[in-house]
Structure formats: structure tokens, C-alpha cells
Structure 1
Amino acid sequence: MKGRISHSIETPSGKNSGYENFPVGSFLLPATLRPHVAIFYKFARTIDDIADNPNLDPNEKVHRLDGFEKAIIGTEKNNPLFETGHLMRESLKECQIQPKYCVDLISAFKQDAIKLRYKNWDDLMSYCSLSAAPVGRYLLDLHGGSKDGYGPSDALCKALQVINHIQDCQDDFNKLNRVYLPLDWMAAERISFEVLSKNYSIPGLRRVVFRLLDATEDLMQEARKLPSGLNDLRLSMESGAIIRIADRLIQKLRKDDPLVRRVELNKSEYFSCVSIGAISGFFQ
């Protein structure tokens, strides 16, 4: 049954840029581009919040996301309920960036509405190609691209996505019955999804997390090439900071249990990573 769009299309979760693992539109980026980055972040957060709202059924989620897709590609330009999408479309037009990145994000969140399990690592990476890689590609295009193409950026964005999946694995299962941990790795450890509801990780789950972190480390090997290939120095500094943050989070997730508490950087760790990473990016 097709859902009906209500007068409250957006469902803000209360999450903002402070929730993210990485700086969003920080002072490191050119001042003239930060407003566009802010519009892109608001758009991405808006559609993500719809996909993650436990009070909406899958049909309603997809229907609302369809509305944002129409706003992005311009088949619907006047509906005020999709104002965030209209602002994003105008920003893309002004910056001469293709709408595909936003459409891919919408496709990822439609998938979130109806797909709750991932059979293996490759299946998860296919999802990340829609949910994470477009963010980096948008930023690259906005800042003049890279001599190395999109590969290092894709790798970094996918790594950040997997890190976030590990951080939020308990909430995703308890609130949405959604599990990003690969089914075949869970089966190899002979553990069920219900272990995600415990207040600590059993050994088998820890081994699955370590496999995810090992695979994420492989992505980071490619991601570390990113700063040196970028054509914009300020984006090189920002990417250097993000790489440092990702490396530190991987270290912490190997040590700390995400079922005991959300594993994240404290303020001192965060600013240390940003400072050291930005300097590293400057000298790439």
C-alpha cells in the first residue's frame, strides 16, 4: 500500500554535525564553499533521518524519499514540503555539480527502509558505494577534483561508514532491526543477531568486529593517498584530519566494546587528530 505524504515530511532526529565522526564544513574549507557544504549536509541528514525513523513504515519512508528525489532532479520544483531538496538542487546548479550524488544517497536510504541484512562484505560495500562514496565525490567535485580520481576518496568514505556501523550496531538492531555486520561472518562464529542486544560483546561478536576493522584498515591504505592527490590545499588539510580521526577510531574500537558504550573520540582526542591531520595534509 502506497504511503501518504503528511504535512511533516522531515523527521529531525536531533543529530547534527557534532554527532559526526568528521568535521562538517569546518574552517579548513574555503569560506565561499562552506554554505554549499552546509546545504549538502542538511540534505543528507534530512533523508537519513527519514530512513532511520522507527515510527515510519517502509512504504512511507520510500514515498517521502521519492519526493526528495523529484525535488533534486527537478521534476517537482514547487512543493514547499521538500524545501531542503529544492535548496540542494539550486546549490548543485550553482556549483555545476551533477545530481547523481544526491540521487545515490536517496537510493541508499530507500534501501535502508527495506533491507535489514547484508550477506557478506561485498554486499556491504555495494551499499557503501551509495551511502558513503557520493559524499566524498561531491566534495571532490566542489573543490576541483583529484589527480588520483575518486578511488582514495571512495575508500575513506566507505571506511568511515563501516566505523559508524560498528559504533551504532546495537542501536541499529534494537531500534530498527537493522544489521550491517556481514551475515556470513556472523554465521562463521555461530552467533545470532540477538547478541547485539546484550550489554557487552561476546567473544564471537568481538571477532566479527575485528574482521570488520581489518577490512576497514585495508580501505584506509587506499584512503591515505587522498590528501596528496587533491587540487585544493584546504581540502587536503581537511582530508588529512579525517584520515587521522578514522585511524584513531579504529584503534579505539579494537580496544573498547561498542555494546558497553558508544566508542567515540573525546574532545582532546578529536582536536589532536584535527590539528595533526591538517598539518599532515598541508605538507602532502
Structure 2
Amino acid sequence: MGVEPDLQPSRREALVEHARRAIKEGSQSFSAASRLFDEETRERAWLLYAWCRRCDDIADNQVKGGPLGDQSDLDDRLALIRKLTAKAFAGEPTGDPAFDALGVVAKECGLTPAMAEDVIAGFALDAEDWRPRTEADMMRYCYHVAGAVGVMMAVVMGISPDDQDTLDRACDLGLAFQLSNIARDIVEDDAAGRCYLPAIWLVEQDIEPGQHTKPHHRQELADMAAKLVALVEKHEAAARVGAERLPFRSRWAVLSAARIYGAIGRKVRKRGTEAWNSRTFVPRWEKALYGARAFLSAIINREKHPDGPITWGIRDFRPSN
């Protein structure tokens, strides 16, 4: 699918440039991985990212991922996100370039309002100060804030919205990303008044409520981070199954991003109790190395799969109705 003829090229170019700046400022890892896409897919990925970033900022009442603002008017902010998103899908101007960007990429690729609503539900969970009680709760959160984005990205990369199995594997990639983020940011999230570790895990470790980041619990924290990374590797391996079905350059980009985010989790695990003394990151040279390895893997296209059959999918991470 090419650019829709009823959108002025100059307007689309302006939205793409706005989106390019948004991803460059918001995520160096995603920005780097996006360069591996062909031009059309890269621009569409930027357009989708711009919407995600803007929704996150509105939901948290922040600017470009900065400090959280006043959370008292949550319902109004979520209503605004839904209103502007609906206008974008209807092809109407929204007055906000990030939502206009969604309208463009949705029309070009076949993204649906239901896909977008799954993502918005994640912003609602964050803004409501929601806490997971069980591992299943944590995975549901990861689905809404990252797995659902992976589904939309798969459609941007050319996967049919009806190809449920491949969309399931795209969801796995988002889950792996978010689980790595949770492991890396446990202490940072606690400072912001948030905890994404299942309450049952904390009880099993005999940790007092609100005390999981205290120095005397660092070993227990390292043990829970290791459990998170085991989940990262499970879903990372499953995502490789779907990556095999992508066009070469998209496959290269996905495998690069998977390696980089998987490396974050594995670094956290390796650092053990020291993991939160400083922020865990993947340096630029190492990202380049993972990109080179992903290039070879994308050519060979015989990724290591999970042990045993994959018995889960998106249905397992959505809340039951």
C-alpha cells in the first residue's frame, strides 16, 4: 500500500518529520532499530510511535516522558485521548500532529480502532495507579502497554490484521520489551510511586508492603528480576517465530530490537544486587554489534525457537469479559 492520494504530500511529510523527532527524543533504541526498515515502513513506524508517545504524555500529564503531572483529572485526559483517536480513525483533522499521524498510518495500513483501544487501556492502568496481584495481572499490563503496540507494528510491517498467529508472535516481542523495562526500572518506578512486580511475588519473598527496594531486600529483588528475565527470554524466543515471516529489512529491525532489549534484561540479571545502583543500558557499540548479528540472522532466517510448542497468544493476556 502506498501513500493515500487524498493526503497532500507536504502535510504527510510534515507529520513524518514531527514523528521522526518524537522517536529520536523518546527512544534511542527504537530510533536506531527503525533505521533498518525500508523507507516506507520506517516512516509508518515513526507515525505510530508519535501517537503512542503523545498518548502516554497525555495520560501521565507529562511532557516527553518527563516528571508526572497532576493525576486528579485522569478521566478527562483518557476521554481526550479516545476522542482524538476516534477522530483520527474517522480521517478528521485533530489539531494534534501525533493523532493526525495515527490517522495517516491507520488508513495506509489497516490499523483498527480496537487495536488502538487495547493500547489506550494500558495508559488507563498506569494512570489509575494500578498494581498487579498475580503474574497473569502483570502480563496483562505488559500486553496493553507493549504487546498491543507490537501487534500494531506488525500490521505496519505488512502483516494482515487477520493473521492471528503472526500477530500473537508480534505481541510476544512487545511483552519481552516491557518485561525488560520492568526489571531495569524497579527502583526508578518505586520512586515514582509505581510497582509492576506481582504482589504474590513480594509475599513469597516475605517483603513488607512498600519495602521491596530497600537495601536489605536487594537479594530478593535480584531473584525477582531473574524471574522477569526468564519470561523475557521465553517471549523473545517466541517472537523469533513471527520474525521469520517478515520481509528481510523488517525482520532485521525486529531481531535487532529483540537482541538489544533482551540484552538489557540479561545485564540486569548478571549485575544481580548491583543492578539498580546505576541505570542498566546497552552502549552504542554493543547495539551496533547486535545489529550486525541480527543482519546475519535475518539472512539465514533460522532463529532458535522456544523449547516445546507455543501454547499461548494474545487471548491469554487480554482480561476476560
- Residues 125 and 135 (structure 1), Cα distance of their counterparts in 2 relative to 1, 3 Å cut: same
The residue number in structure 2 matching 1:280 is 297
- 1:152 maps to which of 137, 146, 169: 169
TM-score by length of 2: 0.75
2-side partners of 1:178 and 1:134: how far apart? Answer: 21
Q: Percent identity over the alignment? A: 24
Note the 1:22-41 alignment, pairs <5 A: 22-23=30-31, 26-41=34-49
Deviations, residues 108-151 of structure 1 (Å, cap 9, x unaligned): 10111113311111001111221111222112112221774212
Q: Is 1:61 equivalent to 2:77 in the alignment?
A: no
The 8 Å contact of residues 123 and 145 in structure 2, kept in 1 or not, is answered as yes
TM superposition shift of 1:193? 5.2
1:261 is paired with a residue of what secondary structure?
coil
TM superposition shift of 1:94? 3.0
Note the 1:82-161 alignment, pairs <5 A: 82-145=96-159, 148-161=165-178
1-side partners of 2:184 and 2:249: how far apart? Answer: 28
The 8 Å contact of residues 195 and 202 in structure 1, kept in 2 or not, is answered as no
- Residues 36 and 224 (structure 1), Cα distance of their counterparts in 2 relative to 1, 3 Å cut: closer
Higher mean displacement: 99-108 or 138-147? 138-147
The 8 Å contact of residues 92 and 98 in structure 1, kept in 2 or not, is answered as yes
Structure 2: gaps (5+ residues): 1-21, 302-321
Q: Is 1:216 equivalent to 2:229 in the alignment?
A: no
Higher mean displacement: 58-67 or 16-25? 16-25
- 1:48 maps to which of 41, 48, 56: 56
TM superposition shift of 1:236? 0.8
Q: Is 1:167 equivalent to 2:184 in the alignment?
A: yes
2-side partners of 1:87 and 1:258: how far apart? Answer: 37
2-side partners of 1:233 and 1:67: how far apart? Answer: 38
1:51 is paired with a residue of what secondary structure?
helix
1-side partners of 2:127 and 2:143: how far apart? Answer: 17
- Residues 57 and 77 (structure 1), Cα distance of their counterparts in 2 relative to 1, 3 Å cut: farther
- Residues 228 and 185 (structure 1), Cα distance of their counterparts in 2 relative to 1, 3 Å cut: same
**Letter of the 1:37 counterpart:** A
Higher mean displacement: 60-69 or 258-267? 60-69
- 1:246 maps to which of 232, 243, 261: 261
The residue number in structure 2 matching 1:3 is none
1:132 is paired with a residue of what secondary structure?
helix
**Letter of the 1:117 counterpart:** R
Note the 1:261-272 alignment, pairs <5 A: 261-272=278-289
1-side partners of 2:109 and 2:245: how far apart? Answer: 21
TM superposition shift of 1:216? 2.2
TM-score by length of 1: 0.84
1-side partners of 2:32 and 2:26: how far apart? Answer: 8
Q: Is 1:182 equivalent to 2:195 in the alignment?
A: no
TM superposition shift of 1:237? 0.9
- Residues 270 and 198 (structure 1), Cα distance of their counterparts in 2 relative to 1, 3 Å cut: farther
1-side partners of 2:238 and 2:41: how far apart? Answer: 26
Structure 1: gaps (5+ residues): 1-13
TM superposition shift of 1:179? 0.4
The residue number in structure 1 matching 2:275 is 258
**Letter of the 2:223 counterpart:** R
The 8 Å contact of residues 51 and 98 in structure 2, kept in 1 or not, is answered as yes
The 8 Å contact of residues 199 and 260 in structure 1, kept in 2 or not, is answered as no
TM superposition shift of 1:77? 4.3
The residue number in structure 2 matching 1:206 is 222
Give RMSD over aligned pairs.
2.6
